[in-house]
Amino acid sequence: MCVVDMSWVCDGTSQCPDNHDEKHCCEFQCLSNGLCISHTAVCDGYDDCADGSDEAAKVCAGGMYVHVIHVLKLLWTMFGC
């Protein structure tokens, strides 16, 4: 297993020989077309999914979406999953 700085996980550049830091980086999957978009595109006021699923009120309510992404990245760095 490759251990990298949290800022390098899912940054688009692999620092690990097995690409482990870039696997499973679909941060948000659009409902209608399955497109994966970055967490920075979720709740940003622009419909990146073309179905509005990245801007839905239940996704964006209270800013919780961004918090969940940070928790998931923390778990990945702690447990490598």
Q: Is residue 35 part of a domain?
A: yes
Tally of domains in the chain: 1
Evaluate whether residue 47 is within a structural domain.
Answer: yes
Domain that holds residue 73: 6-79
26 in any annotated domain? yes
Are residues 30 and 49 in contact, defined by beta-carbon separation less than 8 angstroms?
yes
Q: What does the chain come to in residues?
A: 81
Q: Which helix (H) or strand (E) holds 78?
A: helix 64-79
Position 24 in a domain: yes
The full DSSP string for 31-77 is: TTT--EE-GGGTTSSS-SSSSSTTS-HHHHGGGHHHHHHHHHHHHHH
- d(CA 7, CA 55) in angstroms, rounded, equals 25
Residue-wise pLDDT for 3-61, tens only, equals 888 788 877 788 888 888 877 777 788 888 888 888 888 888 999 999 999 999 888 87
The confidence score (pLDDT) of residue 81 equals 46
The reported pLDDT for the residue numbered 69 is 57
Confirm whether 56 is domain-assigned.
yes
- Classify residue 23: in a domain, yes or no: yes
pTM over 0.85: no
Is residue 69 a part of any domain in this protein?
yes
Residue 1 lies in a domain: no
